Amino acid sequence: MTKSLMTKEEGWGTFLSRLVLPAVIIIAIIIVEIFFTFSGGVRSYLDAGFVFFVAFFVIRLFDTALIVWHERQRKPYPLPEMLRGLILSVMYLILLFVILKNMLRVNITPYLATSAILTMILGLAFQGVLSNILSGMSLQFTKSFSRGDWVGIGPNEGIVVTTNWRETRLLDRHSNIIVLPNNLVASERITNFSRPDKKTAIVLTFKIGYDAPVTNVFQALLEAANDCPDVLGVPSPEAQITSYDEFGISYLLKFWITDFGRKNWILGDVGRLAWYKLRRRNIKIALALGEKIEDVWRAAREAPAGKRKIEASAGEKEKNYLDLLHSSFLRPQPGDQTGQMIVSPEDLQALAVLVRRSSYTKDEILFRQGEKGTSCFVVARGKIRGEIAYEEGGKKHISEFIVEPRGIFGEMSLFTGMPRTATGIVAEESELLEIQAEDFAVLLDRNPALAEVIAEIVSRRNEENKEFLRKIKELSEKDIQDSTNKKTILEYLKRFVRGLKLA
């Protein structure tokens, strides 16, 4: 109700502001003619002025009514403001000439001839200005862009700050104002990144060697795009092969964004995520020919000292062992066994050989809530942010927690086989140890009693959290019951060992 009243008030305000001047002049002429006596020549001029301003009033009344009607209907005015002003000016000029000729008996032919000559002179002198005006009118009439749109005009990209009769101004990504004459804008290729909607596709290209499986490259690139919070999920990202040459295969990653102003930053984020994902898969981005030759020469020089690789493996094994030893993995929390390690150092050393150490960058998603998973992560360096989505009282909630160095994440899926109960997001650049089910099976095979200890601890802990687990819609009642049943968990862990022996 208030909104409608305000709209009417604004409409009356527009009427009054545009009609008050001609109305005052008309009233003044009427008063002058009533109270004063003039000769015939002066009175004819007053009559002509009266007719002119009455016609002026009617034209402006009609124009104002159209403006107010479009504003009330929340529709754009069909004519650009510049073109509308030009049409009104021509109408007023024609009206003036008609009154001069028919009412005042003025021979307007010399004026028309003089104005034509003057127009020609001015046209030659100001042809650049006129070109800008006409180009500006064309741009506004065709509505190629509007204020606030992100556009590309030739080699220039920026957000439209303003456009007038002479020029268009863009604010680029470096906070600089670019002033472009309208005739230049009209002659360049215009790309509007804000039309028909804010979604814009951008691409990132990669050159990968022939030794990398294409499927693995596609998977890494698509994961990188999906992990970036600024990339839209719909339409979904696409990965394509664009060419082959002597240096490798050219890949193109295409994805959609809405904030085109942050294009360069988003490209950087996706490129950073892709680098880490490709590296963990041992996929190298193709090098220049000179760098490849240098790598081959370095490998040839180091070949006799092959033990360096063995020493590096031994060093990584020791590093893995120390990180596992000081972590909360297989170390029950206070109240279970007062935080004591439940396996021997020898068993832990055997596991340290098998686990995989990998680097992750910020915003990478380890896994999503509800996904199946048979692995867990130990944080050697960095942080993981966990997000649990649950429903309570008919409302959706998000609970967040942070896993810091020496912490463990995702172990419930490893121990019970239940779907992931949280989404794991890398909070900062991190180094993680991933323990797969087959790695854990080796530990269970070396220590058969370990399975029963784990089953006891996990079932009791899940029993305590049963009510909260029921709030997670991705978990079925069977998942919850199985995760709280010691026998079910024990049988699940024993299947690890049977699978290991069959393999």
Contacts of residue 235, defined as CB under 8 A and 6 or more positions apart, other chains included, come to 199, 201, 256
SS3 75: coil
- pLDDT score of 103: 82
Residue 92 pLDDT: 83
Class of domain 200-291: alpha beta
State which residues of the chain have pLDDT below 50: 1-6, 124-126, 305-312, 335-338
Q: CA distances (Å), 90 to each of 20, 167, 354, in order? A: 22, 23, 86
* CA 141 – CA 74 distance, rounded (Å): 19
User: Cβ-count burial of 323 within 10 angstroms (0-12 exposed, 13-18 middle, 19+ buried)?
Assistant: buried
CB hemisphere CA count around 476 (13 angstroms): 6
**CATH among 3.30.565.10, 3.40.50.1370, 3.40.50.300, 2.30.30.60 for 136-192:** 2.30.30.60
pTM of the model as a whole: 0.65
The ranges of the chain annotated as CATH 2.60.120.10 are 308-502
Q: What is the pLDDT of residue 30?
A: 87
pLDDT at 6: 39
3-state DSSP assignment of residue 361: coil
Q: What is the pLDDT of residues 13-72, one digit of tens each?
A: 666 777 888 888 888 888 888 887 777 678 888 888 888 888 888 888 888 888 888 777
Domain ranges in the chain with CATH number 2.30.30.60: 136-192
Distance CA 385, CA 381 (A): 13
Query: Which pLDDT value is given to residue 187?
Result: 84
Q: Are 82 and 136 in contact (CB under 8 A)?
A: yes
291 residue type, one letter: E
Are 392 and 471 in contact, with CB atoms under 8 Å apart? yes
pLDDT tens for residues 85-129? 777 888 888 888 888 888 877 776 766 556 555 565 555 444 555
Overall size of the chain counted in residues:
503
Domain 308-502, architecture per CATH: Sandwich (2.60)
For residue 223, what is the enclosing H or E element? helix 214-227
User: Bridge partners of 391?
Assistant: 396
Q: Where in the chain is the domain with CATH 3.30.70.100?
A: 200-291
Structure tokens at 388: 């649990």
Tell me the sheet residues that pair with 389: 398
d(Cα 121, Cα 432) in Å, to the nearest integer?
Answer: 78
DSSP-derived secondary structure letter, 449: H
Distances 241 to 144, 200, 220, 281, 320 between C-alpha atoms, Å: 34, 21, 14, 19, 38
Judged by DSSP in three states, 421 sits in coil
Find all residues with CB under 8 Å of 484, minimum gap 6, and list them: 459, 462, 463, 466
Q: How far apart are CA 207 and CA 214, in angstroms?
A: 12
Buried b / exposed e across 79-94, counting CB within 10 Å, b at 16+?
ebebebeeeeeeeeee
